[in-house]
Structure 1
């Protein structure tokens, strides 16, 4: 009996010792990230049949249980991936938001200063000081465009660095998780109990992996984990780790993309293929904010340059010569895919010619084998199919595409119409005399006219440069017919009445009716007639010679500040830039609010998980006392068994 009692006491002693060790393990690891509390689970030892009944033989440790809820852990991982992604997004977008909205460093002050210089020049009859001030403000505007674009470029380099760092870290986590899978699987296949501390370490690595990219976790064979990312790409399968690669974009060598390694092949993953975590947030920021912002800034620069140049070339400079381009218009960015056939000689060029038709989108030009297709990437809509180049540009959404050379099937190019607009915005006119402030034609009526009719100051369009009108032109009024005569014989005349009615007179226009308040247009020249003419009254349209103080064209250049240039004539330069600032600002606030919500959700899910798996030091202190008393009690049992055994021995002596 004493031997059985001794065995029972010993089993209790071992169980209490295991409880004390496990409790001490919990206490010392309470502050270790990812540690899940462990509890000793006891069971009764096998019974002993004594013939008169079954007698207990003590206790045994059946399991050291690890408290962990996979459902709650999944929620924590998802919340962590979401928060990390939003934090990454906000850290980047807040830089753009602060830059664009800055009242001193933003574009708006420079735009306003530039147009103020234009208007001051018009008000000061194009004096030399006003011309110099206008050129200075134009140069400042160009510098501001370039500085903003340069800053966006620096942010882009930061995104590239983030992608490279994240890819390296993700690969390291994948390797470590695969190694732990192997160790845990070895224990499982040998029929041993699971190593709780290794399970904790693996779960913590998976949690940390989700700070870089959202990872989907599924149970695998032998208690291993299968981890996939993106749209199902496996990252860890059992003991095998797959790898990501940071690689240059095939169509833009300055852009770092994420590739998925399969054997010796690396496939580029789309920016939207990976979500969550630092990597997913950086990719989403680049595709949804940085790229559109840089293109939108370039759009404002190109729109200003195109419209300003068009009007500037309709004027005369201080030497009486036609104006030249005032600002440079940057050509579109064209990226040739490095995987195009080596025999391909195709060149694609693109330049914005009509800002009002611009669509906020990039384009892909691809050769199908029978012709070129142009696909608008914003909606993946083909806007040109099976095109065979003829040497002439083809206009698409306000952009002229010129394609030359020979291609092989599968060749492709990326075209970003306005991406380089801000960086390529430069002042071309360097001398004050080169500012075309005057209008190339003047109008007048003789003092001996008998009527009250007046001819307005003339306006000219691009048609005046393309097909110059022989000047001077003298219009005369015939009272008998009520018509104006003297229009150039080879030119049709368009008349727009004060009520908006339009009348077209084909060439030669000999019976053009006079109507007060009507505008007469021919050969790119427009004049408005008012009053009542007398018989044989004449009105002269002549070349403007010696118009040094003429500021009519500079006045029209100043009007561009409020002209609707974009979105089919519904948005000005300022409103277009304001839309960019508003879009970025709203998105920044959205990401900030969502980040705060994600942080609160992460805190809640962590709390719920900690309620199950966390170490409560008060509880562990109670357990220490409990196991200490159990240890002492078991020791007392063994002491009593020893006393009984000694007594039995003494009786035998």
Structure 2
């Protein structure tokens, strides 16, 4: 229906649309530096025209909705690469401190201690009765023992630190799941009101999903009412509508005090252990180093300590010492304790050698202090291939497993850099689509301001025309 009041309504609707445009532009500018914010835009639509006296007359404009500039497929790609980046970053960052345990800059590396020990044995071969030489052998042997034990304790300390970090990551994941579930309810509530657009809530949830995917291996999709459903390792249901699963750690029952990651999703009566099933994300990287890299390094150290002690003992037991020990044999140089699997942690100097250097056996015959046959056999261990089923010497074995760790560390850093580059490229594409351009928003502000001024002019014009009509009655 036409008339001045119809035109006044058209102007009022135009004024509202312009004001909404200014509000949205201001909202974009205010959140230009907000992480995860997607630029919003006002979508206008013309109203259906009405017929008046045989003529179709326009009914102005209305705000159809306010939507965000968002590419859901690109968001999926970012979250997929986030899982790889989280894993490679956590793996590299967890392995990097291990490098210091074997650093060549240390004066007491295993390689150096082995050299010093065998050099002192060489001196003992030349001067088998000298107290200072025997003392040097004992001290260098003790330093070698300390080196085995230092590597063992340092690796275990790093493993315990990673174990604590795993507990922290699980706590963060649990918090994120709860927040995502809360936002599901907020999104559903908002979508049932007159205004179904919840761009800001979706942005918040997307940001949480990016954080979540960097931590664990998950799949997700948006279901009914825009609520997100999140599934974790082994198809565990982590978020369903407003219900988050319990994501926790459980101490293993093997006495190691290490954490297993478990999920109680409500669908099962027993916790689901997902420690090994989780293949990507920060948790996966931490678990790989804790459960595979460090145990392998510990076993190399144990094998080396065990073999070295056994080889030395087998020779030393056949020899004779000096003074009170010149007629006795059968003594060990080192002891490994009852648990041979933990040789590096338990290796010690034999008690007799700790008490007296006279117990160090160098002679093959009793009452022959100048006989150096047995110490020469000990010296041959330096070049003898006793490690890796007779494939390498002690020094070669140490260099091989430390070098292998170094190559693994370099590969981990390269993978991290590659994942980081890919993620940055995808994030740059997202920023190009969803980011706020201050120049563009300034232009939009001028545009909406001009529209608002023009709409105001329509209203003031109609007001003047109404005054004219009222004057006709007078």
Shared fold per TM-score greater than 0.5? yes
Q: Does 2:345 correspond to 1:423?
A: yes
Matched residues in 1 for 2:443 and 2:409: separation? 50
Matched residues in 2 for 1:126 and 1:259: separation? 63
Q: Which residue of 1 aligns with 2:273?
A: 268
Matched residues in 1 for 2:455 and 2:301: separation? 80
Unaligned stretches of 5+ residues in structure 2: none
Q: Which residue of 2 aligns with 1:112?
A: 115
Q: Which residue of 1 aligns with 2:403?
A: 582
* Preserved contact between residue 101 and residue 581 of structure 1 (Cα < 8 Å): no
Give a deviation string over 1:213-241, Cα, whole Å, max 9, x none.
23322222221111122333221122110
Q: Which residue of 2 aligns with 1:209?
A: 212
Matched residues in 1 for 2:428 and 2:456: separation? 40
**Greater displacement, 89-98 / 163-172:** 89-98
Give a deviation string over 1:286-344, Cα, whole Å, max 9, x none.
12311111111111111111111112112223222113221122555xxxxxxxxxxxx
Instruction: Assess, with a 3 A threshold, how the Cα gap between structure 1 residues 99 and 253 changes in structure 2: closer, same or farther.
Output: closer
Give a deviation string over 1:351-394, Cα, whole Å, max 9, x none.
4xxxxxxxxxxxxxxxxxxxxxxxxxxxxxxxxxxxxxxxxxxx
Q: Which residue of 1 aligns with 2:361?
A: 436
* Preserved contact between residue 111 and residue 141 of structure 1 (Cα < 8 Å): yes
Q: Does 2:328 correspond to 1:321?
A: yes
Aligned CA RMSD, in angstroms, stands at 1.7
Note the 1:402-481 alignment, pairs <5 A. Answer: 417=341, 420-428=342-350, 429-430=353-354, 431-439=356-364
**Greater displacement, 200-209 / 72-81:** 72-81
The CA deviation at 1:609 is: 0.8
The CA deviation at 1:78 is: 2.4
Q: Which residue of 2 aligns with 1:62?
A: 64
Q: Which residue of 2 aligns with 1:29?
A: 31
Q: Which residue of 1 aligns with 2:100?
A: 98
Out of 144, 166, 170, which is 1:163 matched to? 166
* Preserved contact between residue 323 and residue 436 of structure 1 (Cα < 8 Å): no
Q: Does 2:416 correspond to 1:604?
A: no
Q: Does 2:7 correspond to 1:5?
A: yes
**Greater displacement, 29-38 / 244-253:** 244-253
Q: Which residue of 2 aligns with 1:569?
A: 390
Matched residues in 1 for 2:217 and 2:402: separation? 30
Matched residues in 1 for 2:366 and 2:12: separation? 120
* Preserved contact between residue 78 and residue 214 of structure 1 (Cα < 8 Å): no
Instruction: Assess, with a 3 A threshold, how the Cα gap between structure 1 residues 628 and 330 changes in structure 2: closer, same or farther.
Output: farther
Unaligned stretches of 5+ residues in structure 1: 333-350, 352-416, 440-543
The CA deviation at 1:652 is: 2.9
Out of 540, 546, 550, which is 2:367 matched to? 546
* Preserved contact between residue 177 and residue 239 of structure 2 (Cα < 8 Å): yes
* Preserved contact between residue 23 and residue 624 of structure 1 (Cα < 8 Å): yes
* Preserved contact between residue 438 and residue 550 of structure 1 (Cα < 8 Å): yes
Instruction: Assess, with a 3 A threshold, how the Cα gap between structure 1 residues 247 and 192 changes in structure 2: closer, same or farther.
Output: same
Q: Secondary structure at the match of 2:239?
A: strand
Instruction: Assess, with a 3 A threshold, how the Cα gap between structure 1 residues 142 and 24 changes in structure 2: closer, same or farther.
Output: same
The CA deviation at 1:254 is: 2.4
Give a deviation string over 1:188-227, Cα, whole Å, max 9, x none.
3457413111111111111122332233222222211111
Q: Which residue of 2 aligns with 1:594?
A: 415
* Preserved contact between residue 321 and residue 358 of structure 2 (Cα < 8 Å): yes
Q: Which residue of 1 aligns with 2:236?
A: 233
Q: Secondary structure at the match of 1:437?
A: coil
Q: Secondary structure at the match of 1:65?
A: strand
Q: Secondary structure at the match of 2:229?
A: strand
Matched residues in 2 for 1:198 and 1:99: separation? 47
Q: Which residue of 1 aligns with 2:246?
A: 243
* Preserved contact between residue 246 and residue 257 of structure 1 (Cα < 8 Å): yes
Matched residues in 2 for 1:37 and 1:90: separation? 35
Instruction: Assess, with a 3 A threshold, how the Cα gap between structure 1 residues 31 and 240 changes in structure 2: closer, same or farther.
Output: same
Matched residues in 1 for 2:29 and 2:328: separation? 89
* Preserved contact between residue 69 and residue 434 of structure 2 (Cα < 8 Å): yes
* Preserved contact between residue 566 and residue 572 of structure 1 (Cα < 8 Å): yes
The CA deviation at 1:564 is: 1.0
Matched residues in 2 for 1:269 and 1:646: separation? 77
Matched residues in 2 for 1:291 and 1:66: separation? 49
> How many residues were matched structurally?
463
Matched residues in 1 for 2:57 and 2:337: separation? 95
Structure with bigger helix share is 2
Greater relative contact order, per chain length (Cα 8 Å cut-off, separation 6+): 2
Matched residues in 2 for 1:252 and 1:577: separation? 29
Q: Which residue of 2 aligns with 1:38?
A: 40
Matched residues in 1 for 2:74 and 2:424: separation? 12
Q: Does 2:7 correspond to 1:186?
A: no
Matched residues in 2 for 1:49 and 1:93: separation? 76
Matched residues in 1 for 2:305 and 2:257: separation? 22
**TM-score in terms of structure 1 length:** 0.69
Matched residues in 2 for 1:126 and 1:220: separation? 85
Matched residues in 1 for 2:390 and 2:437: separation? 67
Runs ≥4 residues deviating over 4 A: 189-192
Matched residues in 2 for 1:273 and 1:64: separation? 41
